[in-house]
């Protein structure tokens, strides 16, 4: 085992990382190439040069070999995990036809041709017409087909970023079931492309032959080609194994393999996930995503802007801490932790509802963010703590929805993502949930999840369960402080849970008057 390593390529929004793990889940080597998150030619657009993603993957791998003494021959297998919902169009020769549309893109297509009467009636009876229309208008497929028909007509394969990178590495149009999180004709219950009679084929302007072959996580999907070996330095013939999307990989990389262990991801999008063998719609008619474990589901609740709000605060109000950190040789995060610790639990009555982006059903498309309870005692420090508390309240609400729908009580928390590096955020999470909160033993949890897929797929560990137990463990554990927990529980139950239903009518009035957010 000492000379066997697993190469995980993690293509996130902000950077591409090449990560070498051993079979005990230790991070042995790492390289990172930073990315411009996106460029925008029009308001609301968010695109990225698809070839730029591949170039960054190649550069990260080459940088990795220069930074370690581990021989390339020790790499047993490779897997890719990527940001979700970023799409790439390829022609018959495998050439990129247009910039990738990233998951941050907010463009919408115009009103679509009505679905057949049968489906319209069914959706009306189920009261999900708005959700279906939202799906059709958000789908990048429909926008490209309507606004760039010449490109759409040349499109031979329509791939997620994961499928594009897999193609560049092994020359095959194959992607993992665990990566299918996008506006695609995918059957989330059966983990396959939708059946021929499914409404999604009518709702989306895409043909089945334009989509890749799907395989379960842990499947060997090919081998590194000569061209990919030259670009990346990965030895030709190294097995390429299917992993899953970054959030799904993060869940198993944090050790959340059973439904009673929830994984909180404090990333750009904040999420709470559990892994379940049971199909559970936490929000009715919104399916669970595929997990990074074959045949399993990820019962996810999202706070779309999540820890983006923390960065928003730092950019808008945190210049003093950033300058002080630079002067004292301290990371800005350490300075912001000091801000949090200056303020008592509950932020002296300042409460935040973190709906900085509208939702589909919970919250609805009219939703806006809110901060209430201001008084003359409040400072930037109170605002910052209120943001962290509001995100934790929202994720606790998500936990309770998951518990209600699944029938399984969450008894443990694993925390991943950038926000997990803040001791203050970890402690208030434990206090608000009333549960022990364990930091993952390595920061690169999504990469570790991809490495677990390699280990299980190549038989280096017996199966996913064995690999996860061998390669993950708790880092520092934060336990609830009883006095803080009592304050938070009252604020959550008596105030936070009532905020949205009390403010929702006013959000709708704001949308009606201002036209923002745009209503379907």
Percent of the chain with pLDDT over 70: 98
CATH code at 468? 3.30.420.40
Encode burial over 202-232: b for 16+ CB neighbours within 10 A, e otherwise: bbbbbeeebbbebbbbbbebbbbbeebbebb
State whether 342 and 437 are in the same domain. Answer: yes
Q: Is the per-residue pLDDT at 55 higher than 50?
A: yes
489 part of a folded domain: yes
Q: How many domains would you assign to the chain?
A: 2
133 part of a folded domain: no
The CB-side HSE value for 54 (13 A sphere, CA atoms) comes to 21
Cα–Cα distance measured from residue 209 to residue 196, given in angstroms and rounded to the nearest whole number:
12
248 part of a folded domain: no
* Residue 314: exposure state from Cβ atoms within 10 A (0-12, 13-18, ≥19): middle
CB 310, CB 388: distance < 8 Å: yes
Q: Is the per-residue pLDDT at 128 higher than 70?
A: yes
State whether 390 and 499 are in the same domain. Answer: yes
Long-range residue pairs from 466-473, CB within 8 A, at least 24 positions apart, any chain: 468/252, 468/255, 468/257, 469/257, 470/23, 470/24, 470/25, 471/21, 471/23, 471/24, 471/25, 472/25, 472/252, 472/253, 472/254, 472/255, 472/440, 472/441, 472/448, 473/25, 473/255, 473/441
State whether 296 and 186 are in the same domain. Answer: no
- Position with higher pLDDT, 75 vs 307: 75
CB 54, CB 69: distance < 8 Å: no
Cα–Cα distance measured from residue 260 to residue 408, given in angstroms and rounded to the nearest whole number:
6
Q: What is the pLDDT confidence band of residue 1, given thresholds at 50, 70 and 90?
A: low
State whether 346 and 415 are in the same domain. Answer: yes
Give me the mean pLDDT over the 397-401 stretch: 96
Percent of the chain with pLDDT over 90: 77
Q: What is the pLDDT confidence band of residue 261, given thresholds at 50, 70 and 90?
A: very high
Q: Is the per-residue pLDDT at 386 higher than 90?
A: yes
Is the sign of the CA dihedral 475, 14, 223, 195 positive or negative?
positive
User: What pLDDT is recorded for position 285?
Assistant: 81
User: What pLDDT is recorded for position 361?
Assistant: 63
**Close Cβ partners of 464 (under 8 Å, ≥ 6 residues apart):** 217, 218, 252, 257, 293, 294, 452, 453, 456
User: What pLDDT is recorded for position 498?
Assistant: 94
Q: Is the per-residue pLDDT at 2 higher than 70?
A: no
Residue 485, SS3 per DSSP: helix
State whether 324 and 189 are in the same domain. Answer: no
State whether 341 and 452 are in the same domain. Answer: yes
pLDDT tens digits along 332-373:
667 888 889 999 999 999 999 998 776 766 787 788 889 999
59 part of a folded domain: yes
Report the Cα 227 to chain-centroid distance in Å: 30
115 part of a folded domain: no
User: What pLDDT is recorded for position 357?
Assistant: 74
Report CA-CA distances (Å) from 495 to 259, 352, 502, 508.
28, 10, 10, 20
State whether 283 and 224 are in the same domain. Answer: no
Cα–Cα distance measured from residue 231 to residue 165, given in angstroms and rounded to the nearest whole number:
13
Residue 26, SS3 per DSSP: coil
Report the Cα 13 to chain-centroid distance in Å: 10
Q: For residue 227, give its domain range.
A: 5-106+156-194+211-243
- Which range has highest mean pLDDT (249-263, 302-316, 494-508)? 249-263
55 part of a folded domain: yes
118 part of a folded domain: no
49 part of a folded domain: yes
- Position with higher pLDDT, 128 vs 59: 59
Q: Is the per-residue pLDDT at 445 higher than 50?
A: yes
Task: Give the number of other CB atoms < 10 A from CB of residue 473.
Answer: 13
Q: Which helix (H) or strand (E) covers residue 152, if one does?
A: helix 149-154
Is the sign of the CA dihedral 154, 156, 162, 164 positive or negative?
negative
Pairing outcome for strands 297-298 and 301-303: unpaired
Q: What is the pLDDT confidence band of residue 520, given thresholds at 50, 70 and 90?
A: very low
State whether 186 and 291 are in the same domain. Answer: no
The CB-side HSE value for 365 (13 A sphere, CA atoms) comes to 15
pLDDT tens digits along 75-115:
999 999 999 999 999 999 999 999 999 998 989 998 888 99
State whether 364 and 442 are in the same domain. Answer: yes
Q: What is the pLDDT confidence band of residue 517, given thresholds at 50, 70 and 90?
A: low
State whether 299 and 354 are in the same domain. Answer: yes
State whether 332 and 374 are in the same domain. Answer: yes
Long-range residue pairs from 489-495, CB within 8 A, at least 24 positions apart, any chain: 489/434, 491/346, 491/351, 491/393, 492/393, 492/396, 492/432, 495/351
Radius of gyration for the chain, computed over Cα atoms and rounded to the nearest angstrom? 23
Strand partners for 22: 5
Mean residue pLDDT of the chain comes to 93
State whether 348 and 453 are in the same domain. Answer: yes
Report the Cα 383 to chain-centroid distance in Å: 26
- In this structure, what DSSP letter does residue 284 have? T
Q: Is the per-residue pLDDT at 440 higher than 90?
A: yes
Residue 351, SS3 per DSSP: strand
Whether omega before 517 lies within 30 degrees of 0, making that bond cis, reads yes
- Position with higher pLDDT, 507 vs 365: 507
User: What pLDDT is recorded for position 286?
Assistant: 86
């Amino acid at each position: 085992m000492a000379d066997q390593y697993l190469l995980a390529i993690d293509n996130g929004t902000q950077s591409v990382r090449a990560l070498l793990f051993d079979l005990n889940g230790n991070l042995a080597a790492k390289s990172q190439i930073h990315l411009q998150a996106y460029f925008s030619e029009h308001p609301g657009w968010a695109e990225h040069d698809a070839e730029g993603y591949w170039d960054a993957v190649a550069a990260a791998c080459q940088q990795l070999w220069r930074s370690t003494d581990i021989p390339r021959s020790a790499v047993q297998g490779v897997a890719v995990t990527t940001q979700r919902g970023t799409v790439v169009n390829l022609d018959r020769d495998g050439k990129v036809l247009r910039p990738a549309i990233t998951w941050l893109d907010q463009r919408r297509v115009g009103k679509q041709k009505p679905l057949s009467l049968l489906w319209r009636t069914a959706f009306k009876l189920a009261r999900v017409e708005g959700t279906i229309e939202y799906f059709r208008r958000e789908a990048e497929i429909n926008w490209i087909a309507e606004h760039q028909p010449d490109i759409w007509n040349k499109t031979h394969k329509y791939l997620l970023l994961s499928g594009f990178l897999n193609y560049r590495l092994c020359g095959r149009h194959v992607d993992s079931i665990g990566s299918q999180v996008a506006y695609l004709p995918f059957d989330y219950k059966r983990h396959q492309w939708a059946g021929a009679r499914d409404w999604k084929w009518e709702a989306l302007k895409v043909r089945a032959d334009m989509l890749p072959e799907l395989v379960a996580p842990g499947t060997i999907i090919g081998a590194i080609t000569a061209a990919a070996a030259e670009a990346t330095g990965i030895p030709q013939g190294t097995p390429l194994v299917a992993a899953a999307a970054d959030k799904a990989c993060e869940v198993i990389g944090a050790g959340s393999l059973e439904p009673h262990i929830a994984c909180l991801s404090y990333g750009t999008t904040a999420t709470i996930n559990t892994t379940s063998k049971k199909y559970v719609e936490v929000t009715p008619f919104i399916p669970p995503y595929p997990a990074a474990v074959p045949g399993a589901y990820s019962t996810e609740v999202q706070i779309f802007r999540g820890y983006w709000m923390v960065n928003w605060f730092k950019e808008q109000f945190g210049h003093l801490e950033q300058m002080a950190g630079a002067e004292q040789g301290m990371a800005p995060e350490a300075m912001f932790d000091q801000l949090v610790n200056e303020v008592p639990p509950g932020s002296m009555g300042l409460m935040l509802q973190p709906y900085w982006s509208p939702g589909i059903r919970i919250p609805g498309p009219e939703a806006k963010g809110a901060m209430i309870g201001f008084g003359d005692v409040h400072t930037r420090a109170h605002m910052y703590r209120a943001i962290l508390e509001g995100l934790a309240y929202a994720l606790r609400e998500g936990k309770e929805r998951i518990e209600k729908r699944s029938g399984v009580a969450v008894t443990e928390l694993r925390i991943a993502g950038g926000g997990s590096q803040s001791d203050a955020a970890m402690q208030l999470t434990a206090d608000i949930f009333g549960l022990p909160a364990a930091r993952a033993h390595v920061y690169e949890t999504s990469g570790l999840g991809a490495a677990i897929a390699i280990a299980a797929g190549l038989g280096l560990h017996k199966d996913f369960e064995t690999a996860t137990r061998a390669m993950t463990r708790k880092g520092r554990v934060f336990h609830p402080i009883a006095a803080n927990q009592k304050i938070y529980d009252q604020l959550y139950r008596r105030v936070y849970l009532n905020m949205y239903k009390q403010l929702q009518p006013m959000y709708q009035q704001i949308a009606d008057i201002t036209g923002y957010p745009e209503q379907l």
